[in-house]
Each structure stands twice: as structure tokens, then as C-alpha cells.
Structure 1
């Protein structure tokens, strides 16, 4: 039961902090200046005819 307690404590503290930082990084990365043109280009990919 000791391993379960240690893993539970890790998940409740450091893993949650890591996931939060990862989420904020992704959000900030998509909102950076200059990303709108890349997003618009990616949005038009399905509509392009080759």
C-alpha cells in the first residue's frame, strides 16, 4: 500500500502542476503574435483542390 500512497501523492501535486503548466503553454503558444496566419492557412487545407 506504500507505493499506492506515494503515487497518489505525486499525482495530486506534481503531476497536476505539470499538466497545468503544459495546458497553459499550449494556450499561450496558440495565442502568440503571428499565429493567426498559420491558423488560417491550416483551416483552408481541407478546402483546397489539387
Structure 2
């Protein structure tokens, strides 16, 4: 039971911090300069054969 408690405390503190930093990183990665062009290129891949 002590292992569960330790893991839960770790997840409540550092796990939340890690998920928050990951989310902020994804938002910055998505909104970075030049990402619109690469997103449009990726979105048009299925239609290139038509």
C-alpha cells in the first residue's frame, strides 16, 4: 500500500507538471512561425493523387 501512496503523490505533483509542460510545448509547436505552411502541406497529402 505504501508504493501506491508514493506513486500517487508523485503523479499528483510531478505528473501534473509534466503534462502541463507537454501541453504548453504542443501549443508553442503548433503556433510557431512557419507552421501554417507545413500544416497545409501535410493536409494536402491525401489529395495529391487526384
User: TM-score under structure 1 normalisation?
Assistant: 0.92
Pair 1:48 & 2:48 matched: yes
Task: Summarize deviations over 1:1-50 as a string: whole Å, max 9, x none.
Answer: 11111000001000111011001101110100111100000000010117
Q: Which segments of 5 or more consecutive residues in structure 2 lack a partner in the other structure?
A: none
CA RMSD of aligned residues (A): 1.1
Q: Number of aligned residue pairs: give it.
A: 50
> Which structure carries more relative contact order (alpha carbon 8 Å, separation 6+)?
2
> What is the correspondence of 1:1-50 to structure 2 with a 5 Å cutoff?
1-49=1-49
Q: Which ranges of 4 or more aligned residues in structure 1 deviate by more than 4 Å?
A: none
User: TM-score under structure 2 normalisation?
Assistant: 0.92
